[in-house]
A and B are shown apart, each in its own frame.
Chain A
Amino acid sequence: MSAGRLENGLRAFWIVLLVFLYAPLAVVVFFSFNSINSSARFAGFSLQWYEQLFRNEAIVAALTNTVVLAMVSTIIAVIIGGLLGYGFYRYRLGRLSWLVWLIYLPVIMPDIVFGIAEMTFFVAINERLGILSPGLGTMVIAHVTFQVPFVALLVNARLLSLDPQLFEACHDLYAGPWQRARFFLLPVLRPAILSSFLLALTLSIDDFVISFFTAGPQSTTLPIYIWSAIKKGVTPEVNAIATLMIGSVFLVAFFSLLVQHGPSGGRPSKGGRRA
């Protein structure tokens, strides 16, 4: 086997792989512009499904819920998870060191198990205390819970890669806790915080199962809407909603490219939610 043939074979393989990866998404986008209700035959270009979509109040509400859920949970998770990652690094936890192992729990927990555990727990609390009735609130809590470990791990990994003497330098320069955070920690952690923000965001966008089990009647998100709509088969309307969501993911991908090539060069790596 000559090196040239191997090279050509690999290039052909790479192209086939890209087709495999993008064909399902491309088909969704393509048929969302179909003028007839079919995903087998393209009759002509039309925007009618998009017009219908924005006139449908249920879909607009689901869109709002989706954006609110993703943004709110990600912001909370980055704050809580970032502090946790720092705390694990800075303090010897002594008798609490088992806490570190707890954040690996979602790694071995299939998301269906996670989803039903959250759901049954919320129901039990709700029956007894009347709080945590299923809705956006419970969904945000569930999302933050699976996002926090990943943020903590990313921030912690970045801190472990730093020279410990930098902390002593801060101390020698009489930096107070606030100054240390403002002029040392935040700048060096900026790439890790940005990439954990993007990771947490994509984890939230990608999730269906946990949202599905913790949602209430008023907190339908776009994936949940699609889920109930496709029981009757895929319609161009479903494809149109999906196209909007695919578009937003490509936007996030674009931003992550910017982060990668930004001045501080932190690389967001998505090893999967169970990474």
Chain B
Amino acid sequence: MLFTVAPGALFILVFLVLPSVYLVGMAFLSSGPYGLPTLPLSLQSFRELAGFGFLGWSPGNLYTLIRSVWQTLLATALVILLAYPAAYYISTRPARWRPLMLLAIVVPSWTNQVIRSVGWMNIFAPGTPVSDLAALLGLTAPQMGLFPSQFAVIVGLVYNFLPFMVLPLYAAFERLDTEQVEAARDLFASPVAVFRHAVFPQTLPGLMAGIVLVAIPAFGMYVVTELLGGGKATMIGNLVARQFAQASNWPLGAAGAMIMIAVTLIGLKVLRDLGRRLSGDREVVL
């Protein structure tokens, strides 16, 4: 047992748990010279994070938090809209095609995150056909690219996380009891009613798993917002990262990280309750 469990357990304890504990502690320290953490213990970082600074209260950080939640919800909703038909379509193909189709969905997400954003930077740059079309339609000013913008951030988020929704939904569709669906059809249920009463409840566990896999990393996004977003679409991950780079206030960054984890946990709880209610308490979804 020592031989099998010890190396992994030690690694996780030393390089995962210890750093996390250190970060939590840092949030309750003061910001010293160069923004490095020093004693005494204080709640200054949390106060600053809530917007209380030298010049009184400012809503900037609060806006960033709200924007983070909003952009996460929007991207997740769009991912669900795209993933449902995709997962259904794959599950209705001949069995020998399905692994290849799933691989086609997943492969882009294996490339480096930075490269995926570089791809969209190429497409949304000024003067490209896509940007020219947007300008022609009056969506952007002429000679302007489509990035940096909130639109580009949402596209980037959807692009990054689509596979994480398709895979669990596909797994749910593969196990779908088609007799229920056919029974509903035989009873002249409309397509909407078939989806709502026969398909949706059966794919709910897959949907829930997908939301967890999409929304958690989307909420913590750093790369996409930094590269495609500019100032108007920054999320809390960028706010936190800035405290360890340009702005340099480690305790403030650590406090921001605490808030990120807290919001993530609250989100998981809300999702779990929602899943319970939607499935009529039949089973624990998460």
A-B contact count (CB 8 A): 251
Residue A108 lies at the interface, judged by CB distance under 8 Å to chain B: yes
B1-49 residues with Cβ-Cβ distance < 8 A to A are 1, 3-5, 7-9, 11-13, 15-20, 22-23, 26
Is residue A102 contacting chain B, with contact meaning CB distance below 8 A? yes
Give the nearest-CB partner of B209 in chain A: A271
Q: Is the CB of B5 within 8 A of A83?
A: yes
Is B99's beta carbon under 8 Å from chain A?
yes
Task: Kindly state whether residue B230 has any CB partner on chain A within 8 Å.
Answer: no
A113-B260, A226-B118, A249-B107 as given contacts; A87 in contact with B5, CB under 8 Å: yes
Tell me whether B213 is interfacial, beta carbon within 8 Å: yes
Complex CA gap A93/B119 in Å reads 47
Query: What residues of chain A lie closer than 8 Å to B264, measured between beta carbons?
Result: 108, 110
The answer, yes or no, to whether B164 is at the interface (CB within 8 Å) is: yes
A76 to chain B, nearest CB (A): 9
Cα A111 to Cα B113 with chains together (Å): 12
Contact partner of B19 (CB less than 8 A), chosen from A38, A90, A117, A226, is A117
Given A83-B5, A208-B114, check contact A24 B159 (CB 8 Å).
yes
- Contact, CB under 8 Å: B116 / A226: no
Q: Using known A-B contacts A10-B89, A116-B244, A117-B22, determine if residue A83 contacts B125 with beta carbons closer than 8 Å.
A: no
Determine the distance from Cα of A11 to Cα of B105 in the docked complex, in whole angstroms: 15
Neighbouring A residues of B113 by C-beta, 8 Å: 206-209, 223
Minimum distance in angstroms from A8 CB to a CB of chain B: 11
Look across to chain B and name the residue whose beta carbon is closest to the beta carbon of A247: B111
Judge whether A109 and B99 touch: CB under 8 Å. no
Q: Does B115 contact A (CB under 8 A)?
A: yes
A86 at the interface (CB under 8 A from B): yes
Contact status of A272 and B164, CB under 8 A, knowing A80-B7, A105-B20:
yes
Are the C-beta atoms of A202 and B110 separated by less than 8 Å? yes
Q: B108 contacts A22, CB within 8 Å?
A: yes
Q: Number of B residues whose C-beta is below 8 Å from A?
A: 82
Q: Does B222 contact A (CB under 8 A)?
A: yes
CB-CB < 8 A to B221: which residues of A?
Answer: 110
Inter-chain contact A112/B237, CB cutoff 8 Å: yes
- Does B183 sit at the interface, judged by CB under 8 A? no
B165 to chain A, nearest CB (A): 10
User: Known interface pairs A88-B5, A253-B103. Does A21 touch B162 (Cβ–Cβ under 8 Å)?
Assistant: yes
| Contact of B112 with A24 in the complex, beta carbons under 8 Å | no
Given contacts A110-B216, A144-B11, contact A21 B105 (CB under 8 A): yes
Are A113 and B23 neighbours in the complex by a CB distance under 8 Å?
Answer: yes
Most buried by B among A1, A21, A24, A202: A24
Chain B residues with Cβ below 8 Å from A227 are: 114
Contact of B103 among A14, A116, A256 (CB under 8 A): A256
Among B103, B126, B253, max chain A CB count under 10 A is at: B103
Which of A51-59, A187-195, A238-246 is near enough to bind chain B? A238-246
Check if A145 is an interface residue, CB within 8 A of chain B.
yes
The answer for the CA separation of A208 and B115 in the assembled complex, in Å, is 10
Answer whether residue B123 sits at the interface, using C-beta atoms and an 8 A cutoff.
yes
The answer to whether A206 and B110 touch (CB under 8 A), given A13-B85, A83-B5, is yes
Residues of B within 8 A of A (CB): 1, 3-5, 7-9, 11-13, 15-20, 22-23, 26, 82, 85-86, 88-89, 92, 99-100, 103-116, 118-123, 125-128, 159, 161-164, 167-168, 191, 212-213, 216-217, 219-223, 227, 237, 240-241, 244, 250, 253-254, 257, 260-261, 264-265, 268
